[in-house]
Amino acid sequence: MNLLRQKLSLLPEKPGVYLMKDNQAQIIYVGKAKVLKNRVKSYFTGSHDGKTARLVSQISDFEYITTDSEVEALVLECNLIKKYNPKYNILLRDDKSYPYLSITEESHPRVLVTRQLKKDKSKYFGPYPNATAAREAARLLNRLFPFRKCRQIPSQPCLYYHLDQCLAPCIQEVPPEVYKEMRKEISTFLKGDQSGILTLLQGKMIKASEALQFERAKEYRDLIEDLKQLGEKQNITLNDFIDRDVLGFATTTDQMCIQVFYLRQGKLLARDNFIFPYYEDPEEAFISFVAQFYIERAVWPKEILIPAIESLALSKLFPITTPQKGKKRELVLMAMTNAQTTLHDQITLEINQQQETGDALNTLGELLNISVPRRIEAFDISNISGAHTVAGMVQFIEGKPERRGYRKYKIQPMDTSDDTAAMKQVIFRRYKRLVSENETLPNLILVDGGKGQIRAALSALKEINLVIPVAGMVKNERHQTHGLINQFGEQVLLPKNHPTFFLLGRIQDEVHRFAITFHRQQRAKNMTFSILDDIPGIGPRRKQQLLHHFQSLEDIQSASIVELQASGIPYNTAKTIYDYFSSGDKK
């Protein structure tokens, strides 16, 4: 602490970025400051509430980087968060890639839905906040405009030509001016002006009807209805046809919710909300989120509306506007209100779930006559006829899965190969290690099975001189949670509609899923890779090359030498593989 105080006294009164470290020298938090001296000192002076106190309690050291401005500090903060992934920062790990509509720059262009913006001459529209909206728009455009539909131009016309949805460049020349005019019409359509398209379709519908082409007339009528419905879906509209995002936020003492409305061509298409804990001033947390959200995006909307904040850093990086009145101001207020509602609903749901989980744990402890099992570890054995036997262990803390505590085990060869022996081995290995490393032990061990598995677990614990309650989770003939057996072999009655029953069901399903997934991975690895491992000259790189090219082992086994060479391997190696599978000596 003396070292920290000395370092605090040396902090400059300049903008910059600070990096907090724990006792393992791991970076656990990255922040920016207008004045480093004031911001960093605030962590070590005065009292803090629970969420900030947790962060401060783990700080053993810090370092900092000065910058010339707050804007530079904000950009640097984003880069360092991305690099170090500190556990106490806002981490947008589920960063979303939104789809675009693209008109390809080809001799005969196509209308596509894509999530990648390429540096080519293709024309892009969007982004669309959800894939359904993008696909719906692409479907309508392909029906309205006769662009090419096929990936490769065929030698004869397809059905789209006969439906007047393709100009058939496969059999006739299409002047570039035709495509240019269609591009212009699409731009008008996507900017929200549907009147011209509707008038055109109505004229075609009447013409087809007069020519007694009723199926064609019905097609035009359906297109008109689709266009009208597409327009009706937009429940908020600004008539300037500008792409903009609208952001609002709400906070509690330790949680923040940010609501993002996506307006494209002046119309509200969708929204996102993000809920996360924060460990700094709410405005700073909001600024950090916005910077991370936009800084690496290839395309920004023309305008980003946010509520009033003191810092000007964001407005120097992005097209930020803080509206003071009018419809834009109403949109920001609506985003703020929605953020508050979403946060309230989330907190209420969490409180209810916590109460339900607490009731479930209390009841479980009463049923087994033990203390409340706040830390539960559950085990399941997975194999097929005793082959490729593995075990999975899942950890639940306060009724919630703690995935960092999950463990996988390959069962080592034993004299007796059955599930009970495997259970005894994995229990012994797990808790002997916890004891040797002085780690926290669970309050309850659950095994997937009945009396045999319970006895095996208790026997393993006895050899380590441990006393931990053990219970068995029993399934019915449909492989669903049925009941519980305590360590004395007695059936414990569970009310089917009680939270305890649902909690045990979640634990049993999760440990089964985890174990069987690991078993399938090991089985696939042994079945697929062991055969290739036996072939001289086939190392990891060539195995990957072969499997990437052929997709399956069966394709490799049936391939000719020429086909094997097509994967990129040399002739001698291809011949070795071919001879190996042709000889019938494969294992």
- pLDDT level of residue 536 (50, 70, 90 thresholds): confident
What's the mean pLDDT in 421-445? 94
User: What confidence score (pLDDT) does residue 119 get?
Assistant: 67
Tokens representing 298 are 């290839």
- pLDDT level of residue 445 (50, 70, 90 thresholds): very high
In this predicted model, what pLDDT tens digit does every residue of 200-239 receive, in sequence order? Answer: 778 888 988 888 888 878 877 877 776 665 554 444 556 6
Instruction: Please give the Cα distance from 183 to 145 (Å, whole number).
Output: 9
Instruction: Please give the Cα distance from 453 to 487 (Å, whole number).
Output: 10
CB distance 365 to 372 below 8 Å? yes
Task: Name the least confident of 43-52, 148-157, 481-490, 523-532.
Answer: 523-532
In this predicted model, what pLDDT tens digit does every residue of 51-94 receive, in sequence order? Answer: 778 888 888 888 888 888 888 888 778 778 877 888 888 666 44
Supply the DSSP string of 518-583, one letter for each residue: HHHHHHHHHHHHHHHHTSTT--HHHHHHHHHHHSSHHHHHH--HHHHHTTT--HHHHHHHHHHHHH
- pTM of the predicted protein model: 0.49
Task: Name the least confident of 173-182, 194-203, 223-232.
Answer: 223-232
Checking if the pLDDT of 377 tops 70, the result is yes
Instruction: Please give the Cα distance from 377 to 369 (Å, whole number).
Output: 18
- 């490799």: which residue's tokens? 556
User: What confidence score (pLDDT) does residue 235 get?
Assistant: 41
Q: What contacts 442, CB < 8 A, 6 or more positions away?
A: 373, 375, 376, 377, 395, 468
Checking if the pLDDT of 529 tops 70, the result is no
Instruction: Please give the Cα distance from 82 to 465 (Å, whole number).
Output: 46
Better pLDDT: 576 or 527: 576
Checking if the pLDDT of 151 tops 50, the result is yes
% the chain with pLDDT above 70: 87
Checking if the pLDDT of 432 tops 90, the result is yes
Checking if the pLDDT of 250 tops 50, the result is yes
What's the mean pLDDT in 440-458? 92
Checking if the pLDDT of 271 tops 80, the result is no
Instruction: Please give the Cα distance from 109 to 107 (Å, whole number).
Output: 6
User: What confidence score (pLDDT) does residue 133 get?
Assistant: 63
Domains of the chain: 2-84 (3.40.1440.10), 100-232 (no CATH), 244-344 (3.30.420), 375-523 (3.30.420.340), 534-583 (1.10.150)
- pLDDT level of residue 311 (50, 70, 90 thresholds): confident
| Mean pLDDT (the chain, rounded) | 82
% the chain with pLDDT above 90: 20
Instruction: Please give the Cα distance from 571 to 561 (Å, whole number).
Output: 7
CB distance 483 to 351 below 8 Å? no
Distances in whole angstroms, Cα of residue 527 to Cα of each of 258, 330, 514, 530 = 48, 62, 20, 6
Better pLDDT: 303 or 155: 303
∠472-499-341 over CA atoms, to 5°?
140
Instruction: Please give the Cα distance from 335 to 352 (Å, whole number).
Output: 26
Better pLDDT: 347 or 380: 380
Better pLDDT: 142 or 328: 328
If phi > 0 it is left, if psi is from -120 to 50 it is alpha, else beta; for residue 33 that is: beta
Instruction: Please give the Cα distance from 487 to 470 (Å, whole number).
Output: 5
Residue 491 β-bridge partners = 485
Instruction: Please give the Cα distance from 182 to 165 (Å, whole number).
Output: 12
Helices (H), 194-274: 195-210, 214-232
∠107-110-112 over CA atoms, to 5°?
145
Three-state SS string across 368-426, please? HCCCCCCEEEEEEEEEECCEEEEEEEEEEECCEECHHHCEEEECCCCCCCCHHHHHHHH
Q: What contacts 294, CB < 8 A, 6 or more positions away?
A: 300, 304, 317, 318
The three-state secondary structure class of 482 is strand
- pLDDT level of residue 374 (50, 70, 90 thresholds): very high
Instruction: Please give the Cα distance from 254 to 497 (Å, whole number).
Output: 34
User: What confidence score (pLDDT) does residue 524 get?
Assistant: 66
Checking if the pLDDT of 172 tops 60, the result is yes
What's the mean pLDDT in 11-33? 89
Instruction: Please give the Cα distance from 548 to 174 (Å, whole number).
Output: 39
Of how many residues is the chain composed?
587
Supply the DSSP string of 486-505, one letter for each residue: -TTS-EE---TTSHHHHHHH
Task: Name the least confident of 40-49, 122-131, 395-404.
Answer: 122-131
386: nearest Cα among 369, 356, 411: 411
553: nearest Cα among 572, 536, 534: 534
